[in-house]
Structure 1
Amino acid sequence: MSVERINPAELAPPAGFSHAVAATGSRLVFLAGQTALDGSGKVVGNTLPQQFERALSNLLTALAAAGGAPAQLARVTVYPVDVESYRRHAPELGRIWRALAGRDYPAMAVVGAVRLWDEQALVELDGIAVLD
């Protein structure tokens, strides 16, 4: 598998994402949206950072079960129910990302959501990975 992160000098410097990711490999893994659900299906965490950490952990658990690693993520979309809160917590969320997934950032987008499937959920993440 080969992943090339592309960040053109003509665009604003990326912080916590890559502008483009070119990936070659033999297996695409589409990762379903993950919230802060524990193993029993209960939302855990009362704050956005707590829920982000659990949702990202869940996403990475699904990826690992498919045989992948964080560096193989080509695309991640984050759906917070409060974009302003996401912006306020961005430095902490970045630290959580780096601790769990490293510094090989996928192409990313943050899209505000009115609400998520689980009413208590503050954030959801989905993604696409390219594996060997």
Structure 2
Amino acid sequence: MKILQPEGWGAPRGYSNGIEAEGRLVFVAGQIGWNPQTCAFETDDFVGQVGQALRNVRAVLAEAGAGPEHLTRMTWYVTDRAAYMADTRALGRVWRDTFGREYPAMTLVVVAGLLEERAKVEIEATAVVPRQV
């Protein structure tokens, strides 16, 4: 994979402006911050739900034989911009605990609500796993 950073652009923090990749595509459906075994929320805390949603994304990637290094794109849907902005350091720690220092191209969208009423975040992802030669 190659990170795309146009000349003269400021360095992004916590994401990449673009990724170039070739290989087997893995698409992860929107994951929310609930326990995937019980489909129940264990917290209403924003950062806690983000952590669980990211772990859920990582579990789906692992099922495809992919890991954080294969992430190319992510979209976050959040219901509360203020909650997102309130503790970006904690969000950064949760990210690094789950994905290390891999930063795909990302988009964050503030939405009025999600299908699951208690959900504060939904995260979808795309990964590209290099083909074995």
Q: Common fold, TM-score beyond 0.5?
A: yes
Matched ranges for 1:37-48 at <5 A:
37-38=34-35, 39-48=37-46
Q: Distance in 2 between matches of 1:66 and 1:17?
A: 23
Q: Deviations over 1:53-73 (max 9, x none)?
A: 000000100010111001100
The amino acid of 1:59's aligned partner reads V
Is 1:28 equivalent to 2:25 in the alignment?
Answer: yes
Q: Deviations over 1:67-120 (max 9, x none)?
A: 100110000011110112112222211111111101120000100111111100
The amino acid of 1:107's aligned partner reads A
Return the TM-score normalized by structure 2: 0.92
Closer, same or farther: CA 4–90 of 1 in aligned 2, 3 Å:
same
SS at match of 2:19: strand
Compute the displacement of 1:9 (Å).
4.2
Counterpart of 1:85?
83
Compute the displacement of 1:7 (Å).
2.2
Q: Distance in 2 between matches of 1:86 and 1:11?
A: 25
Gaps of 5+ in 1: none
Q: Distance in 1 between matches of 2:10 and 2:85?
A: 17
The count of corresponding residues between Structure 1 and Structure 2 is: 129
Task: Give the counterpart of 1:70 among 20, 44, 68.
Answer: 68
SS at match of 2:21: strand
Is contact 1:35–1:43 with CA below 8 Å preserved after alignment?
no
Q: Distance in 2 between matches of 1:6 and 1:94?
A: 22
Compute the displacement of 1:40 (Å).
0.8
Counterpart of 1:54?
52
Gaps of 5+ in 2: none
